[in-house]
DNA sequence: GAATCGATGGTCT
DNA sequence: GACCATCGATTCT
């Protein structure tokens, strides 16, 4: 199973988001491997995207979005949750793909424990849920997901056919009409681990 | 099921 | 001091 390289992420964000469907997110936790298949993502593109954390320009918090593709942008939200993004496009242009849901593959028992024994359908079906299940927090902010020794990385798996891929506006975002309507959420139709 | 609401703290103006 | 790319419990229909 080959890892996704930096070249994969250094492209148009919508293309990266679409092609991340079906790929594996892998976490090495104390030697144990936890992984899941990506089933839902959202794209955040440039400072003109009102829903993006970069819409007000560069700050200390969103700096990783302006950095090198293939790095993580992990932010803390609502006083208790973490969310994981993968940075895309060229350095200097703020863009990223938010990983919104996974289908658990390896280390499911560990995920159940980390998620307080909740039903399996709720283990990784949300951006903050999957971070809790895979023990992803701000220690991974700006981490290089393409480094050979990365503890968090992406692996190539089967591509998702167009007829199996759904496209919709993003969830939970604020902004003007165009922002709310932008079809920048991608998901695997009918998958049991979607965030909603 | 759907709608509503509180939790809880980092970040930025 | 306001806001927040969420979650889970509670309170309805």
Burial zone of A108 (CB within 10 Å; 0-12 exposed, 13-18 middle, 19+ buried): middle
- In chain A, positions 134-153 with C-beta closer than 7 Å to nucleic chain C are none
Can you give the pLDDT at residue A157? 98
Write out chain A's pLDDT in tens, 196 residues.
799 999 999 999 999 999 999 999 999 999 999 999 999 999 999 999 999 999 999 999 999 999 999 999 999 999 999 999 999 999 999 999 999 999 999 999 999 999 999 999 999 999 999 999 999 999 999 999 999 999 999 999 999 999 999 999 999 999 999 999 999 999 999 999 999 8
Can you give the pLDDT at residue A35? 98
Can you give the pLDDT at residue A1? 78
User: Is the CB atom of residue A118 positioned under 7 angstroms from any atom of strand C?
Assistant: yes
Helices (H), ranges, A59-143 = 108-114, 127-133
Can you give the pLDDT at residue A154? 98
Give chain A's domains with CATH numbers. 6-187 (3.10.300.10)
Task: Measure, in angstroms, how far nucleotide C7 C1' is from residue A7 CA.
Answer: 35
Can you give the pLDDT at residue A166? 97
């Amino acid at each position: 199973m080959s890892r996704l390289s930096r070249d994969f992420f250094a492209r148009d964000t919508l293309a990266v988001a679409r092609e991340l469907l079906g790929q594996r997110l892998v976490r090495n936790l104390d030697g144990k491997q936890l992984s899941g298949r990506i089933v839902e993502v959202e794209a955040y593109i440039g400072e003109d995207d009102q829903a993006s954390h970069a819409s007000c320009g560069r700050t200390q918090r969103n700096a990783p979005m302006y950095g090198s593709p293939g790095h993580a942008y992990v932010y803390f939200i609502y006083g208790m949750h973490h969310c994981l993004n993968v940075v895309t496009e060229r350095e200097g242009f703020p863009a990223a793909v938010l990983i919104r849901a996974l289908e658990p593959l390896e280390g499911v028992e560990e995920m159940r424990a980390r998620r307080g024994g909740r039903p399996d359908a709720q283990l990784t079906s949300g951006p903050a849920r999957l971070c809790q299940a895979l023990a992803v927090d701000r220690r991974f902010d700006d981490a290089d997901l393409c480094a050979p020794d990365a503890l968090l990385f992406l692996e190539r798996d089967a591509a998702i056919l167009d007829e199996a891929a759904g496209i919709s506006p993003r969830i939970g975002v604020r902004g003007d009409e165009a922002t709310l309507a932008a079809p920048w959420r991608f998901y695997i139709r009918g998958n049991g681990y979607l965030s909603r």
